[in-house]
Every structure is written in structure tokens, then in C-alpha cells.
Structure 1
Amino acid sequence: MMDAEKLGAVVRAERKAQGLRQVELAAASGVGVRFLAELEAGKPTAQIGKALAVLAALGCQVEIVRPGSAEAI
């Protein structure tokens, strides 16, 4: 199960793997640098829409698997 800290760690690791600075990823995803820093730090109240924008800018995909289903939506 993903939690805010794990999500932040994934974002930070992928950003670094792509050689991006926080300011560059923030600009590419339309969020502020402060938001991105808080997201990477695992802030549990980060806005979902902005978090999804950051993930999309990184080329990441989010999958949700419903209980009792093997298919992601």
C-alpha cells in the first residue's frame, strides 16, 4: 500500500533519476517548488490533483486495483 512518505520517495527518486532539479520539475508540472518539496517530504495533506500532475510530468502512471479484481483502472 502506498502512503504519503512512499509517494514522496518515489517522486524524489524518479526526479533525481531523470536529472531534474525541484525547480525544473515544479515548472514542468505546473506546481510550486514549495509544494514539490513538501510532496517529496511525504506531507500527508498534499493535494491529489497537484500530486497527479507531478507524477504525469515524470511520466509515471498511477493504477488502482479494486478489491477482488486483478485489473487496474
Structure 2
Amino acid sequence: MPETPLNFPLGHSGAALIVRTAAELGTIVREQRRELKLRQIDLAGIGNTGNRLIVDIEKGKPTVQVQKVLDVLDLLGLELVVRQKASRSL
């Protein structure tokens, strides 16, 4: 599956993306890391974690521990917001 840039503006607090899969979240993490000009090993070092965690998150591995993902999001200046789904017309 080809990567498509998300155009997620670095530090733009008004931007929001709906994430429904671990792979989508991994893409966001990768894009933000690249925007910050960090290598995976750099991010792992900053977060005092293993490089494998960063690789797993970016690959969309669904079994990564939630707290570890939240910690990486925080390091990248991102946050997770949970809201009720918008209702759909049938």
C-alpha cells in the first residue's frame, strides 16, 4: 500500500484526523517523526525505549501497549482525543 502524505501540520492545534486502525496511527507517528527530522533510533533514545517499539508503532502493530503509544505521541507533540462518533444516516 503506497504511503500518502497526511499534510499533518506540525504544531497545528486545530488539525484533527480520524484514526480507525493501528496502521493509520502508525502513519501519523511516522509523518510527525519525519517532520521533526528524527530517526527512529533518535525518538527511541529520547523516549528511553527500544527502537523496536518505534518500528512496531509505525508499522501499525496492533498489540503495542497503549501507554507506550501514548508516551510516544506525547514525545512527538501529539495527543489522542476520544469523542463520540458522529451519527450516520442509514
* TM-score, normalised with respect to structure 1: 0.84
Cα distance in 1 for residues equivalent to 2:47 and 2:72: 5
1:3 is aligned to 2:18:
no
- Structure 2: where are the runs of 5+ without partners? 1-18
Greater than 6 Å deviation, 4+ residue runs: none
Name the residue aligned to 2:45: 27
The structure richer in helix per residue is 1
User: What is the one-letter code of the residue matched to 1:11?
Assistant: V
Q: Distance in 1 between matches of 2:48 and 2:72?
A: 8
Given that residues 30 and 53 in structure 1 are in contact (C-alpha distance below 8 angstroms), is that contact kept between their aligned partners in structure 2? no
Identity %: 37
Q: Which has the larger radius of gyration?
A: 2
The 2-side partners of 1:67 and 1:2 are apart by 11
CA distance in 2, matches of 1:29, 1:54: 7
TM-score, normalized by length of structure 2?
A: 0.69
The CA distance in 1 between the partners of 2:48 and 2:83, in whole Å, is 28
Q: Distance in 2 between matches of 1:31 and 1:4?
A: 19
Which position in structure 2 is the counterpart of 1:57?
Answer: 75
| Matched-pair contact (CA < 8 Å) for 1:31–1:50 | no
Deviation at 1:15, TM superposition (A): 0.3
Q: Larger RCO: Structure 1 or Structure 2 (Cα < 8 Å, ≥ 6 residues apart)?
A: 1
Aligned residue pair count: 68
Show structure 1 runs of 5+ residues with no match: 69-73
- Post-superposition offset of 1:8: 0.5
- Of 41, 52, 61, the residue aligned with 2:59 is 41
